[in-house]
Chains A and B, each alone.
Chain A
Amino acid sequence: MRVNAFRVAASVLLVATGAFAASHRNGPLLLEDQTANLNDFYIFRSWEQGHTNSVVMSMSVQGFQNPDNGPSYYKFSNSVLYRFNVNNSRGLDGNPDMVVDFVFVDTIAPNAPFVSYLGQITSIDDPGIFLKETYVVVIRNLANNTAEFFFNDVNGHVLSVAPPNTGPKGTPNYEQNLGQPSIFTLSNGMRVFAGPRDDAFYFDSGATFDYLNFRAPAPVLSGAADQGQGAAYPNAVDGFAGYNISLIAVEAPINMLTANGSVPTATTDPNAHIAGWASTLRQQVTVRQSPNDPVQFGDYVGVDRVGNPLTVELLIPLGMKDYWNRSTPANDAQFAPLIGDPFFVDAVLKGVYGLNVPLAPRNDLLSVFVPDITRIDLTIPGIPNAQQSRLGPLGGDNAGWPVGGRRPGDDVVDIGLRAAAGVLVPGFNVAPNNELGDGVNSNDVPLLDRFPFHAPPHAGYLHSQANGTNGRGTPTGQ
C-alpha cells in the first residue's frame, strides 16, 4: 500500500511536469553582466580647495545597489580591468593617449566567518573587515609606451576599497571614519578612490515609463519649477533616490593629462581640450591547454564602454553589440547616420508634443555623440555645487555637460531633452524647447564639494529608498 501511494505520487509528479529526458550541459547564454556593467562617466575640473588645478574622472558601475544587500555586499570584479581613457591629441579622435587602469584583488582574512564584515567597523584597517578589497593603479602613456604601477599610497598604505555603509551601529560616522580615509594620494600626485557611493544620477524614471506621464508642470518647466532646486519642485520623483553605485574616481593634476604636459590658459590652445571615457575589459583565456597558466594568458577585450550619458548603445543591433563594446570610440563614425536623424526628436518632441525642431541631419548632436567621448575645456575653472547651474552651458555655466565635461550635479536629462529639441541650433532656443524637463532638478542627497564629489553611500539600516527625493533624502555619511 505504501509503495502504491508512492507510485501514485510519483506519477502525478511526472505527469504534471512531463518526462525528463537526459539532460545535457546547457551552459548559460543570456548574460546579464553585472560587475563589468558601466553606468556613468564623469570628467570635470575640481573646485576643491588646494586641488583646483586638477581634473577628476569617475565612473559608476553596478547601478541600483540596495544599500542593505548584506552580508556580502557589492564588490568590484577581480577579473575586470576598469579603465579611464584620456584622449588629448589629434583633434580628439576617440583614440586613447593615456589610460588609467584599476585592478582589484580580494583577500579573505584567515579564519573569516561567513560574513564579510563583523562588529563595529571604525577604520579602514579594522580587524572586523574580513573581505579586504585592494587595488593596483596602472597608468599607461600610450604616446611613449610607458607604464607606472601604484600598489600603495605615499604613506605606504595599500590602496583599499571603502567598506559598505551598514548603518549607525556597524559603521558610525561613515564618511569621517571610512569614506575620506579611503582616498589615497599616490606618489605622482594623483588621488584615487574606489568604493560605494550614492548614485548622483537623478531622473523621474517612473513618470517617464508610465507612458510619458510627467508630473505637472513637467515636461515644460518655467519659473520656480525650472529654477528651483530639489524641494522647490515637490511633484517629481527621482527613481534613483536611495540607491548606491560602486564608484571609481581619480584626480589628476591638469599637466598630467595634456599632450605637452602644460597647464593651458587659453581656450584657443589645442592642449586646452581633452576628452575621456570609461571602459571595462576582461581577459581572454585559451580554450585549449596552453603552456601558460590560463590566468596569465591573453589580451584584454572591451566588454562595456561609456562616454556620454546619452550613448549610442541603443542603436547598435543585437548582433553587433559586442563588436561595438570592444571597439574604440574612434570607430564610432560608422554609427553616425543613425544619430543624425534621431527618432525621439521626430516621433516624440515633434509627433507627440508638436514642437518645432531642427531638421535632420543634426550636426549639433553628432558633434557631441560621435565619437562617444565626453569633452572638457581645461581652461574653465570648476565652481562649487551651490553655484553651478544644473543645466550647465544651457544655464550659462560652461563647466558642465556637454561641452565642459560632466559633473555629478549636471541635469543630463533636462540638458538632453532641450538639446534634442534643438536649443543649440540658432533659432530653436525658444519656449517651450528650452523649458523641457522631467521635473527632478537635483539629487536626493547633497553632493560633496570635495573628492570624490559623489555623496557617501546610503546606509543599509535606513531603508533609503523610502527616504525622499529631490534633495529631501537624509544626508549620507553622518
Chain B
Amino acid sequence: MRTIIPFLFLCSVSSAQVNEPDRLMQAFTDRAMADKVARMATDERIKMYEALANYNAGDLHYRNLLAGAFIQKMRETMDPGYLDRASKIVEAVLSADGADYEALRLRSQIELERHNFTKVAEYSRALISSSPDDPWNWGTLGDSLMELGQYDKAAEAYQRMVNMRPDLSSYNRASYYRFVAGDAAGAIQVMKRAIDAGSRSMENVAWCDVDLGNMYFKIGQVSEAERAYLSALRAFPGYYPAYAGLGRAYAAQGKITEAIESYRRAQSAVPLVEYAGALEDLYALAGKPDEARKQAEMVDLIDKMEQSSGLNVNRNLAMAYADRDRKVDRAVALVEGELRGRRDIYTYDALAWALYKNKQYAEAGKAKEKALELGTPEPAFYYHAGMIERALGQRDQARKHLERALALNARFDPRQAPLAQAALKEIAQ
C-alpha cells in the first residue's frame, strides 16, 4: 500500500524544530493514515487532530489539519462557531510562522466564508505568485471573483483550476460557471461528471447532488431535481440543503404537506431565513395561518439577531421581506449593504426586487439589467425583470420576461409563480 510506505525511506529533512520521532509520526499521519482518516466522520477527525495538535504542540501542521476539519464541520452545520475556531487556529499558526503555506491557504477559505471577497482575491493572487501549480488557489480566486461579479476573470481562474486537476472541486466550479453564464445543459453534464468523480468526503458529493438538483429545478425538470436531492440524502444523510431542495420540488408538484415536512427538516438542522420564508408561504397555502405567522416571526427574529450582531448585510433576508411585501425599506438597505462587498448578478437581482417592492421602479430597472447580463437561466430573475418592466409600462418586455420565467419552470415558487401568471394574464388582455 503506497500511501503507508513512503515514510520508510523518504521523509523529508526539513522542519528542524521538531524532534525526529515526532517528524516521523507526522509522516505517518499524513500519508499512512490518510485512508483511515478519510473514512472518519468529521467529528472523529476533529478529535484525532485535536489530540495530535495537543501532543505535538510545536508542530503547526496538526493545527492546520484541525482548522481544516473545523471548516468542514462548519460546511456541514452552518454553525459559524466552527469557523471562528478554525480562524483562531490559523491566526495562531500564522503568528508563529507567517509563511506557513497550509495556513495561508486556509485563510483564503475562511475569508471566503466571511464574505471578504476582495481580500480573498488578494490572498489568492499572492499565493498563486509563489505556488502557481496549486489548483486550490485558482479555486479560491475564481470563487471570490464570481462574488465580485468579475466573471471573465473568474472563468479564467476556474479554467486554470480544472486544467491542473480535473476532479469534483474543479468540475463543480466549471459547472456552476456554465450555469451562471447561461449554459444549463453543459452545466448539468459537467456537474454529473463532478458527482462521478466523487470524494471520500460524502458531504462534498452531496453538495454536487444538490447543485445538480437546483439546476434541474430551475429549468423545470422537477422530477430529475427530486432524484438528485434524494441521492444527496443517500450520500450524506440529514443534509439540510437537500431537504430544502426536496421542499422546493414537492411544492412544485403540489405536495404541500411533504414540502412542509422537508423544509421543517432543513430548518431544524439550520434555521436559514429562506427556509422560514418558504415555510411561511407553504403554511399559508395549507390553510395554517398560525404556523405561517410563526415563520414570519422567525424571519423577524433572525433579522433582530443580525442587527444585534451589527450585521446589516444579507440579501437572503432582504428577499424574504421583499417576496412577502414586508419591511421593504429594510430590504433595500440590506441589499445595499451586501452590494458594497459583493457585486454579482444575484445581488443585483435582489437589489432590483427590493427596489421594485419599495416602488423605486427606475432604479429597479437598472439593477435588473445587471442581473440579466449573462442570460442565467434563473426563473426568478426573469419574473423580477418582468414585474419591474410592467411597473415601468414596458409591456412587451414584461410579457417576454414573464413568459421566459414560466417557460423555465412554470412552478418555480409556490407564492411567486401564480403572481407571475396573473401579471402575464393581465398584460395579455
Residues of A within 8 A of B (CB): 2-3, 6-7, 10-11, 13-15, 17-36, 38-41, 63-64, 77-80, 199, 201, 203, 205, 208-209, 211-212, 240, 282-289, 293-295, 298, 301, 303, 306, 308-315, 317-323, 325-326, 338-339, 341-348, 351-352, 365, 369, 412-413, 416-417, 419-420
Residues of B within 8 A of A286 (CB): 159, 174
Pick from A7, A32, A205, A318 the residue with the most CB of B within 10 Å.
A32
A377 to chain B, nearest CB (A): 22
CB pair B165–A314 under 8 Å, yes or no, is no
CB pair B169–A28 under 8 Å, yes or no, is yes
A319 to chain B, nearest CB (A): 3
Residues of B within 8 A of A209 (CB): 28, 32-33
**Contact flags B95-130 to A (C-beta < 8 A → 1, else 0):** 000000110010001001101000000000000001
Known contacts: A77-B197, A339-B9, A343-B10. The answer to whether A318 contacts B181 by CB under 8 A is no
A287 interface neighbour in B20, B162, B315, Cβ under 8 Å? B162
CB pair A287–B158 under 8 Å, yes or no, is yes
CB pair B167–A282 under 8 Å, yes or no, is yes
CB pair A14–B301 under 8 Å, yes or no, is yes
B201 interface neighbour in A32, A203, A416, Cβ under 8 Å? A32
Residues of B within 8 A of A315 (CB): 6, 10, 12
Stretch from B256-264, B266-274, B417-425 that touches the partner: B266-274
Report the Cα distance A205→B271, complex, angstroms.
44
B193 interface neighbour in A285, A325, A342, Cβ under 8 Å? A285
- 10 other contacts beyond A10-B298, A27-B139, with CB at 8 A cut-off? A11-B305, A22-B315, A29-B109, A32-B199, A35-B198, A36-B167, A40-B1, A309-B1, A311-B6, A343-B11
5 A-B pairs closest in CB distance: A319-B131, A32-B200, A343-B11, A282-B166, A347-B20
CB pair A344–B9 under 8 Å, yes or no, is yes
B198 interface neighbour in A13, A34, A283, A413, Cβ under 8 Å? A34
* Count of inter-chain pairs, beta carbons less than 8 A: 317
17 examples of A-B residue contacts, CB within 8 angstroms: A14-B301, A19-B80, A22-B314, A25-B146, A27-B207, A34-B38, A208-B28, A293-B189, A312-B10, A319-B130, A322-B134, A322-B165, A339-B9, A346-B13, A347-B23, A352-B21, A419-B9
A335 to chain B, nearest CB (A): 9
Closest to B298 in A: A10
Residues of B within 8 A of A (CB): 1-13, 20-21, 23-25, 27-28, 30-33, 35-36, 38-39, 68, 71-72, 75, 78-81, 101-102, 105, 109, 112-113, 115, 130-131, 133-136, 139-140, 143, 146-147, 155, 158-159, 162-169, 171-174, 176-178, 181-183, 186, 189-190, 193, 196-201, 203-204, 207-208, 270-273, 290, 293-294, 297-298, 301-302, 305-306, 308-309, 311, 313-317, 338, 342
Report the Cα distance A137→B3, complex, angstroms.
27
Report the Cα distance A288→B177, complex, angstroms.
7
CB pair B6–A310 under 8 Å, yes or no, is yes
B3 interface neighbour in A22, A39, A79, Cβ under 8 Å? A39
B309 interface neighbour in A18, A24, A29, A294, Cβ under 8 Å? A18
Known contacts: A28-B168, A287-B159. The answer to whether A416 contacts B8 by CB under 8 A is yes
CB pair B11–A326 under 8 Å, yes or no, is no
Report the Cα distance A318→B165, complex, angstroms.
14
Known contacts: A10-B271, A20-B271. The answer to whether A287 contacts B2 by CB under 8 A is no
Pick from A22, A26, A314, A339 the residue with the most CB of B within 10 Å.
A22
